[in-house]
Structure formats: C-alpha cells, structure tokens
Structure 1
Amino acid sequence: MSSALQVDLDLVRKYSVPGPRYTSYPTAVQFTSEFTPEAVIDDLRATNAAPRPLSLYFHLPFCQTLCWFCGCTTVITGDVTKADIYLRYLEKEIALTRPLLHPGSKVVQMHFGGGTPNFLNPDQLRRLGTLIRDNFGFEPGAELSVELDPRRLTRDHVAAFREMGVTRASFGIQDFDTAVQKAVNRIQPKELSDAAAAWIHETGYESLNVDLIYGLPHQTPESFARTIELALELKPDRFAVFNYAHVPWMKPAQKIVERAVLPTPETKLAMLKLVIETLTARGFVYIGMDHFARETDELAVAQRSRTLWRNFQGYTTRAGADIYGFGMSSISQTPTHYRQNEKTLPEYYAALDQDRLPLHRACFLSEDDRIRREVIMRLMCDLELNFDSLSASLGIDFRAKFAREIAALADGPAADGLIEMRPDGFAATDVGRLLIRNLAMTFDAYIGSTEKRFSKTI
C-alpha cells in the first residue's frame, strides 16, 4: 500500500501562482490565427510519409444545462436532433482529414469528451461508432475512453459505448454535498452516481475514473472528506481531483458562482492536504497534477517504468501518438505543430460547408520548442530530470543550454525543499510533486508574458 504523502502548506502557499497545466508546450495561449491552411496540410502530408500511431479525440459539445463552474467549450440545448446535424459535419471533417493520413496508420487511443458525450442517444452513438470504424483501423489493445454525465445516463448509453470498444469511463461528481451542488447548478444525487458506476462495472469496462473539484462554494474540509469517502464506495480505479479554476474573464457563467461564498485560500489548502493524504493512504499513487491511480493501474505502472506521457487528454500511456481532434474547438497535435478547430458551431459548420478543414488557430514548433516540450513533459511525467539521458536523447549539452534554469532551480525550489539536486539531475520531493507545474515553468520560454492568463497552480 502507498504511504501517505505529507503536505507542507506553507510551501504550497508560497508557490501558488498562475501557471499552465502543460497538456502541451508551447501552451494554447501561443496558438495564433496567423497561419495558412496550406502550411498545416503540407505539414500533415510530410508527417504522414510513413505510418504513425494515432490518437483520436471527438468533441461532443452538447449539454442540456450549464454547470456554472465549467471551463469547457459547450453548446447548451435540450434538442437532441442537433446531434444528428453535428454527426453529419463530423462525417465531413473525417472525409477531409482521412486522405491526409498514411493508409497504414492505426489508432492506439480514442477519447470522447465534451460537453456531454451521452447527450447523444444510443442510436446516434452507434451511428458515430460505425462512422469511426469505417474510416480508421485500430491496433489490438487500443485505449478507448469516454466522459459520461450520470444525470443523463442510461444503461443503453453505457452499452452503446462499450459496443464501440470503449473500456475506460470517467464521470464527474465534483461534490456530493447538496448545498455545493445547488451553488454550481449541478444537482446529482448519489443514487445517480451509484447507478452509473454499477452499469460501468457490469458491462465490462476495465477502468472507472471519478472527477472531484475542491474550491467550490460552501465546501469545507469536513464536507469534502465525506465526499471522498462516498466516492471511494464507487470503487474507482483513478481519481482526478481538480482545483476549481476560477476564470470568469474567460467563462462568464462563473460570475454566478461568485454570488455564493467561495472557500478561502486557507480552506482550499486544507482540502488539498486532505485529498492527498487520504487517497495516498488508501492505496492510490499520486501520479502528478490532480491525478491518482491505484498501484496496479497502467498509469502508475507507466510512471514507474518512465514510459508515461502527457497530452491534451491528460496523462496517458500512449506516448508518441499524433492526436487528431474532430468537432468544434478540438485540438490536434503532430510532432511539429498544434492546431485547433473553430470554436463555435456556426463557424465550424461554415468551414465544412466550404469543403475546408475548420481550422481556427495553429502553432508551429521551433527546434527550441521541441526540446523544451520534451524536457517539460518528462518532468511532468517522471517527476524528475536526468540531465545526462536528456543530453543523449535530445542531442544537446543539457547543462550548457539550461544553465540559467538549473541555477534558478538551485536558488529557489532546491533551497525550499521542492527538489533534491543530484549529480545527474534532480528529483521532486513530496511537496515538489504537488508543485510540479511551478518546476516546469522554469523551462518555459514564454512564461514571462502569459502567466496572468492561467489559473493558479494550487
């Protein structure tokens, strides 16, 4: 069993500043509309000169109601026929994208996110599954996952995704306390979560992840302790426990949340301490950021073997796969660029009506970007850096290129006990693992001009 991590709140408090989550580097704030679609298409063709492992992402944006804390790109509607229209446009987007891929490329990972993927009815989901299977080949053992909303879920939804090959499911609880649920407009009695978990276990899914959020109105350490205990009853394999990112300048609905009393920074820190010490004492490994997994889970195994990776789907064991995002606002990634689709339905539909890829923003990586991406991703996943192995794998003198960053780490985080310096590199301590975003920011060449656009690291 894992030993419980101990949390030093004074150090956490000192380092709680705005910073990226590093699902990409450069981060999304560096994406720009100043690009040509031809450059993206040329890069895709060059990338696909040989077969590549593929990770597909389908953004299904519809929700029946808006959760006021939500930071996702959503479309609020009760009209399920809108999903039929959306499926026709997904088919168009796939038809435009498929010829750009190497015919021998196979899917190793696929994820359905939103929005609410189970906004689609089971027949619509089966139609989507047929569309995907008709256009893509899958590697045996490919990881297929979905985000579900227990409030709108039926057993037939769960079965439809399972028929598509999905074996990993995730759903949000956020908090079981009714006062908290009312304050964020997400009423979800525990019976709904119980039913969702039972269906997932009964229909042959291999893994269940549960999402919680701390920092919401009316939460206390005592109330959140009850939420954690109730969530453990669902027998999840993973937890994602997020710090509520309050960014009302980006998500205006979050201004409604401000009408209730938000927890103080001290209360949030106490809840963070509670989460980490409780879950690590109950057999979960703290993977990093907000993620916990049982010791036998493949995320924990991959982290121990230094094969864990991080992308727009979060932590993953499918390193090196090119991401192809379909649907409005979805993000794609190749070794040399990122690109994001149009962020509204009218713009997304209009592009496809003109038989062109619905590109909104892009970011082409320089050689320095690619080096720093590797360094940051290895730190986020391994919780340590080996200067010698990175010098070899990247073809650089790591100590020379990053002399300023190494000195900054020694002067700050090392002196504060966040890292332990070694002859060949450094490793994060227990408290440093909580602040891994801060450590990664040391290697971010863009951070000086962008940090105000991020939520706080804790």
Structure 2
Amino acid sequence: MKIPQHLINKYNTPVPRYTSYPPANFFSTEFTSEDYVQWLKQSNDEATQNISIYIHIPFCPKICHFCGCNTHLTRDKNKMRRYVDALKKEILMVKSHLNPDRRVSQVHWGGGTPNSLPIEMVEEIMNVIHDNFSYIINPEIAMECHPALLDETYIEKLVELKFNRFSLGIQDFKQEVLDNVNRDAPSIPIEELVKMIRSYKNTSVNFDFIYGLPYQDEKSFSETIDRAISISPDRLVTFSYAHVPWVKKAQKILETRGLPTAEKKIAMFEAGFKLLTDNGYNAIGLDHFAKPTDELDIAFKNRTLHRNFQGYCTRETTGQVYAFGATGISQLDSAYAQNVKDTNTYVELINEGKLTIEKGYLLTRPQKIIRHVINEVMCNYYISWKEAEQVLQATVAEIKSTINYDEKSLNEFASEGLLSFTAEEISVTDSGKFFVRNIAASLDPAMKNATQKFSKAL
C-alpha cells in the first residue's frame, strides 16, 4: 500500500505513541512510594484481576546507538548479583499487598538485555515468582533476547523455567547497519536459534526489526524482511526508529552517520508491509504482524486486542501490570508508578526496605474514559459508543463530552479516506492505520495544550 505523500507531509508530526494514557512524560514526582502502596492495595478491587509481571533487566554488554530504553553498560557479575537480590526483595514487598487469590496471566522480561543475565540469576527470579504467585491456564512468559547472547543451553534452561515466548531483537540482518549502531550480530545463525526454540513444545518466536537507521534503504530492508519471512516467526515487529536525542544523547551519533529521510523511511515500511501481508502475515496495530493462527491476530479480528508498555496482548493475557526493577513502570487500573532509573539508588532503597517510586500518575475518571477510547482506536481501529457505554458505565454523551468529540476533525480525516464514522461508531480505514496515532491524538483533550515532546508519527 502506497501512502500518499501529501498525507505524510501533513501528519508526520510529533504525537504520543499511547503505550499508556496519559503518556509517561505526563508523570509527576509528587506521586510517591506511599501513594503506590495505597493503590497497590486498591488494585485488588479493580479490573482486571489478572496480574501481569514485568521484570526490567537494565544491563547490556554494549549500548546500541539507537536505543531509547533505560540501560546500564556492564558485564560485572557482582553488580548483577546486587541488583537481582534487590529485585527479588521488591517482588516480595509488592506481593505482600496483593490478594493471594489473584493469578498471573503474563510475565515479560525486558531491558536492557535480559539474557545478558547469567541463567542462574534468571532462575532465582523466576523461582521467586513461581513460588509466590499462581497462574492462569496457559500464561504467556516471555523474554526479549539479544540473539548474539543466546545459545542452546540458555534456551533449554529458559524453557525449563516455563518461558514460552522468545522475542529476538534482530533489528537488521545487514552487517553494515549493525556495525554502525554498535550492535553485535549473532554467531549462531537466526535460523538455527529458531530451530532450537521450536524443538520444544508450545513455544513461540517473534522477531523485532527497526527501520530508519543509517545504511538502511528500501532494498536492504526488503532483503531483511524476505529472510525473516523464510524463517517464518509467529510474529514480527517493524519498529519505526524514534529519534529522541533530547532524551537519549547517544542517538546524536546516528545523525553523523546519515539517518534516512522521512520519505525513505516510509518507503522501507511500505516495502516491509507489502512483503509481510503478501506472505501470510496480517498487520496488527502500529507495527506488529502476525500469522492468522496467532492469538494476537485472533484477538484483533475479535476486536479484543489490548496494549501495555510491553506491547500488544489479548484480553485473556492482559492484567494490571506490576513492574519490578529500575525504571519499571507499573500500570494499575487507577495509577501508574515508575521506579527510579539509577540502578545503585534502586538497590540501596530496596535494601533499606523501601519501594523506589520516582514518579507516577493518578488517573481521574475522565482520563479512564479517554484511555479506553484511545486504546480501542489504537489497538482495534474501532470504537463502538454503545460498547464503550457498557464498559465505562457512562452515557455516550458523557464519553463524547469527555474526549471533546469533534465532528469537524473527524470529517477532515474522513474526507482523506482515513476513517469513517457515524453517531454509533468510528472505524479506521486501511489507509488510516498508518496515521492512527494522529487520529488518537485528535480524541485526546490533553493534546490541545501539550508542551511535552514526542517522536514523529511515522
């Protein structure tokens, strides 16, 4: 699908990614650890009752120049040991405030580079989780893995620890691209790693790629996607490189190496999109692609797709998110809470018996309404006001008033073929999916006077 240039020019503007509502750059330092404890307890009486656990491992043996995550450059096992011991304590501290009848539906390890951690330390953390929480049937237990640090022994042990989804951060198959973003290529071919993972029952594999990096172009990125298709992962993600040097100063290095223009970046996405959708993958949300048999695609077709800081998920695996580790963000029904970013400070506070909240946000009822509307538009490309009325226990008039429903704005999107709408619903078109962040932002009253910085839409 070719995206018209005039729409790119118009809508390639800074807007939130809406992994949360409000976005994380609205969080306030006035929200404290004491507030978090209060809302941890309150979360036991709020939807959803499922628990999603996020484990943040900030350590990386090398820092990739494109990275926007909270990372810590180290190979020091003693530092890792102190961090892991603190993280285990934090899990138990938070667990003491949660209803023991609640069940875990999802465990997600992110970073950093989670598999830079010695497997023995991974086992310690997972044993604390296994020993202190109950699970739903068929929970998703996933780890973001750097392929260069994976081998058969590590994979085998992860499976023994009940990991069933492996997210391989390949980023690109082209060596020149990897060299210029300071990322190691795996010594074991991806094809062999996938074969190792799939030798175990009930395991899934997804690949992560980034487009918009130096030395990428439409031809090279197409070759990368072609190779990925030949390996046949269950899911595949093509992330648009978010250039935010005001947040991550290391990204400035890439400016000296030739970032592709917006037009070339769009061409890469279009080429990847066509290859994937022509070869049996269905587009999901902003940047995901899944096979028709994958639970994400099934959820999307049923309009039950959801999203949190860890990515897209189904209503079955979605839970309130309880995050552990430095910079982890918990997403409760009524509050968000982010841990301190500095790993030393995190360890010191935990060892003093304190939680480590640096900032957070307490949602109002109107913001919960806006969150639901934006989540439905971003995930399912559709919002039914009648269904929203039932979920939110609010009248359609109240919902539309809360989001500053504006038919003039919707008519503009509709005239450009990006959505259709009636008094009962909004439905994003195939063309509109590329601009869904802009559509969501038009329904967000906070964007009218926002001073926060965001990455561009495309």
TM-score by length of 2: 0.95
Is 1:25 aligned to residue 21 of structure 2? yes
Amino acid of the residue matched to residue 407 of structure 2? A
Change (3 A) 1:12 1:436: same
Contact residue 80 and residue 119 of structure 1 kept, 8 A: no
Amino acid paired to 1:259: T
After superposition, give the CA deviation of every residue in 1:18-76 in whole Å (9 maximum; x if it has no partner). Answer: 11111110110111111243222122212225892100010011110011001111111
- Higher deviation after alignment, 262-271 or 403-412: 403-412
Residue 386 of structure 1, CA deviation: 1.3
What is the SS of the residue equivalent to 1:405? Answer: coil
Q: Is 1:446 aligned to residue 446 of structure 2?
A: yes
Whole-Å Cα distance in 2 between the matches of residues 306 and 135 of structure 1? 33
Aligned residues of 1:20 and 1:451 also touching (Cα < 8 A): no
Distance in 1 (alpha carbons) for counterparts of 2:43 and 2:178: 46
Which of 33, 38, 44 pairs up with 1:42? 38
Once the two structures are overlaid, the 10-residue window that deviates more, 64-73 or 423-432, is: 423-432
Q: Which consecutive segments of 4 or more residues in structure 1 shift more than 4 A?
A: none
1:446 aligned counterpart, secondary structure: helix
Letter in 2 for 1:26: P
Distance 1:81 1:197 in 2: 31
Shift, 1:194, TM fit: 2.6
Instruction: Report 1:9-408 matches (<5 A).
Output: 9-49=5-45, 52-188=49-185, 191-318=188-315, 321-399=319-397, 401-402=399-400, 404-408=404-408
Q: Which residue of 1 aligns with 2:424?
A: 424
8 Å CA contact retained: 1:59, 1:330? yes
Contact 1:108–1:318 under 8 Å retained in 2: no
Task: Return the letter of the residue paired with 1:287.
Answer: I
Q: Distance in 1 between matches of 2:55 and 2:43?
A: 21
Residue 434 in structure 1 maps to residue 434 in structure 2: yes
Instruction: Please give the alpha-carbon distance, in whole angstroms, between the structure 1 residues aligned to 2:444 and 2:134.
Output: 36
Q: Is the 8 A contact 2:149 2:186 kept in 1?
A: no
Q: Distance in 1 between matches of 2:259 and 2:392?
A: 45
% same residue: 37
CA offsets, 1:429-456, max 9 Å, x none?
Answer: 1110111111111122222344651111
User: Structure 1 residues 179-188 or 288-297, which shifts more?
Assistant: 179-188
> Retained in 1: the 8 A contact 2:177–2:214?
yes
Name which of structure 1's ranges 369-378 and 272-281 shifts more when overlaid on structure 2: 272-281
Q: Which is worse superposed, 49-58 or 137-146?
A: 49-58
Q: Distance in 2 between matches of 1:452 and 1:102?
A: 37
Structure 1 distance, partners of 2:282, 2:184, is 30
Deviations 1:224-256 (A, max 9, x none): 111111112221111110111111111111111
Q: Which amino acid aligns with 1:283?
A: G
Contact 1:328 1:348 in 2 (8 A): yes
Structure 1 unaligned runs (5+)?
none
Instruction: Find the aligned partners of 1:15 and 1:215 in 2 and give their Cα distance.
Output: 17
Cα distance in structure 2, aligned partners of 1:293 and 1:47: 32
Gaps of 5+ in 2: none
Cα deviation for residue 91 of structure 1 reads 1.5
When structure 1 is superposed on structure 2, of 76-85 and 300-309 the one drifting more is 76-85
- Determine the C-alpha separation between the residues in 1 that align with 2:368 and 2:172: 39
Greater mean deviation of Cα atoms: 156-165 or 102-111: 156-165
**Aligned CA distance change for structure 1 residues 395 and 266 (closer, same or farther; 3 Å):** same
Letter matched to residue 253 of structure 2: I
Q: Is the 8 A contact 1:238 1:294 kept in 2?
A: yes
Given residue 204 of structure 2, which amino acid in structure 1 is its aligned partner? S
Q: Answer with 41-50 or 298-307: which moved more.
A: 41-50
Residue 435 of structure 1: SS of its match in structure 2? Answer: helix
- Deviation digits for residues 174-210 of structure 1 (CA, Å, limit 9, x no counterpart): 1111221111111315843233222211233531111
**CA distance 1:205–1:122, change in 2 (3 Å):** farther
